[in-house]
Chain A
């Protein structure tokens, strides 16, 4: 894997600065993180970089020193156009785009708005649809007593415990917790209080080959949604990940990487 680089891009009439973490060699892949920021996904992103040049932008508002950037985007239209500008600035032609949870919906919206801008699309437990019988759990108001069991299949695992852990060092603790909470605040702006903003009306525009990956024990957004996404996206294939909750890339990274590399390598 090539040495990692962080590029800082000032876009959107100078109102948004975005750090993009870049690593690896191979075909370009954009990774869009979920509601908890890029930090929890770094180990997974590093492994993705074994076969791809991975570009992992931080969501507007979550880059260091630019916490107010989310206020420069007011709608899904703004957000998708902003990401088009970001893709242009990275000079990537039809990269693969992988997104998790909120980042999955973001990836899917980009692929629907601008079908030629995405070469391949992989969605890991994406939000964005709504089934009356299976309401999506609001991940921003999880009780501290039970939140691990909402996110992880094995909620007593070290991984599950680490996810909510804060570093012992006081300054580091504040920084880590603030990032963790603020990432939810910034991404939540576009899906609060219900993560259904009409993607189903736009989904038919997606042209990229699409893989839908789902933790079979996801308690945020039930696995039944995997089929629902597949119904809405023409030609989409579903891979269920056993022993994973809402964050299969953390809980079962080997299995996720296996299905992803099969899909991306085609």
Chain B
């Protein structure tokens, strides 16, 4: 089992009337009405501090991601963050998980191939290369991509990137979306033919099928918890079996919001305002920015119209205790968190847990406390899961040596 610290880099101090002032956390909030550049500078630094803190505390990897024009998370270029993390963690047994740069919205996508190759070189071969298709609002509004072309652009771009990383000769790429006469990438990644490829998805779409077909790792980035993800992951595993893939749990990564404290009661109290901030303010996104015509392929569209598992659920009407009860957020004492996470890990067959230990308005001190407790009291109980039976083929080769049983807490404290 691998456990990585995930971070969204949200705006942590939104005005209290944010939800009544705006209809969306995405696209609509006006920078000069809501935000402050000095504060945001602090957030970027705090985000890096928190991720580096997790790296020292014994996590297996640290994750960045790309989003645009919103309050929910705005690492507009995750490679910038990844570069800091790669340099600062040299010598540590930790993966730089870029989850990552959105291929369809970068032209030419060889730019991302170059940035990732740089990160792999800087980190000494510790890169996990994540390739999200991008949220609809990111790709088609912020970056102007034609909705119906988002997925085909993604597939063409990824094929180009993979070829550019390992081609021995200069080649020409005559694609539908990209034409490059002479591709001869400098630098190339240390990991050949390519670093492990992880592909995020928020549901079981054609992207998940693509992941199985190409033998990559599928990252189900849901904010609704392992408890509510089985329908998606069952379909993923069914499809994997049908396509002749094995049941290696490392084919699946899963994101979970987690808050640990000494006792259940303390945790429920400590994380309540941040859980509510996350679901009420940051995830506040209307259908017209989520379901833009064309972003779902026709079959996926029909499927989404037939059954939307969260239809009728309005997070604004739920309180922290509801988020806990429903399993959107796993909170509690180390024992409670361990048990709930292990249930989810086994139930979904996840090999990589992406722990969102910073969410909402959480200040750095609380985030670090969460990281400490998790690393000391939870992570060691999860780490051995699966390893007796399965090898992680979606992990940097140089990081596969057996880690010390106890996380390096001394370094963190």
Contacts and interface: CB of A to CB of B under 8 A. Distances in A.
Interface of A: 67-68, 70-71, 74, 140-145, 147, 173-174, 177-178, 181-182, 184-186, 188-189, 192-193
A21 to B, nearest CB: 21
B288 A185 contact: no
A212 B91 CA distance: 70
Give the one of B147, B294, B301 with max A CB within 10 A.
B294
Chain A to chain B: the 6 pairs with minimum beta-carbon distance, closest first: A185-B294, A184-B293, A67-B298, A185-B293, A174-B305, A192-B146
B314 interface: no
Contacts of B286: 143-144
A189 B146 contact: yes
A219 to B, nearest CB: 16
A70 B148 contact: yes
B30 to A, nearest CB: 17
Interface string B276-295: 00000000001111011110
B301 A142 contact: no
19 contacts: A67-B298, A141-B141, A141-B288, A142-B288, A144-B287, A145-B23, A173-B305, A174-B305, A181-B291, A181-B293, A185-B147, A185-B293, A186-B294, A188-B148, A188-B293, A189-B148, A189-B149, A192-B294, A193-B141
B302 interface: yes
Nearest to A190: B146
Given A141-B288, A178-B298, A185 B148 contact: yes
Interface string B300-341: 011001100000000000000000000000000000000000
Contacts of B141: 141, 193
A38 to B, nearest CB: 16
A192 B301 contact: no
B147 A178 contact: no
B352 to A, nearest CB: 33
B301 A178 contact: yes
Give the one of B147, B289, B306 with max A CB within 10 A.
B147
B140 interface: yes
Contacts of A142: 288
Nearest to A143: B288
A174 B23 CA distance: 27
B152 interface: yes
B292 A68 contact: no
A9 to B, nearest CB: 21
Given A140-B294, A178-B298, A192-B294, 9 more contacts: A140-B292, A141-B289, A143-B288, A144-B287, A177-B305, A178-B305, A184-B293, A188-B294, A193-B141
Contacts of B146: 188-189, 192-193
Interface in B130-162: 140-141, 144, 146-149, 152
Contacts of A174: 302, 305-306
B305 A193 contact: no
A182 B148 CA distance: 9
Nearest to A193: B144
B401 interface: no
Contacts of A68: 298
Interface of B: 23, 140-141, 144, 146-149, 152, 176, 286-289, 291-294, 298, 301-302, 305-306
Contacts of B292: 140-141
Contacts of B144: 192-193
A144 B301 CA distance: 18
Given A174-B302, A178-B301, A143 B23 contact: yes
Nearest to B299: A67
Contacts of B294: 140, 184-186, 188-189, 192
Nearest to B136: A141
Nearest to B176: A74
B176 A192 contact: no
Contacts of A186: 148, 294
Contacts of A74: 176
A229 B262 CA distance: 69
Nearest to A182: B298
A116 B302 CA distance: 41
A145 to B, nearest CB: 8
A262 B148 CA distance: 39
A184 B140 CA distance: 14
Contact of B301 (A70, A71, A145, A181): A181
A186 B298 CA distance: 10
A141 B176 CA distance: 26
Contacts of B23: 143, 145
A182 B291 CA distance: 11
Contacts of B293: 140, 181-182, 184-185, 188
Contacts of B147: 140, 185, 188-189, 192
Nearest to A142: B288
A74 B302 CA distance: 24
Give the one of B148, B286, B287 with max A CB within 10 A.
B148
Contacts of A178: 298, 301-302, 305
Contacts of A193: 140-141, 144, 146
Contacts of A189: 146-149, 294
A142 B287 CA distance: 9
Nearest to A173: B305
Contacts of A141: 141, 288-289, 292
A56 to B, nearest CB: 21
Contact of B288 (A70, A71, A144, A192): A144
Nearest to A166: B305
A186 B147 CA distance: 9
Nearest to A177: B305
A178 B301 CA distance: 7
B171 to A, nearest CB: 23
A89 B213 CA distance: 40
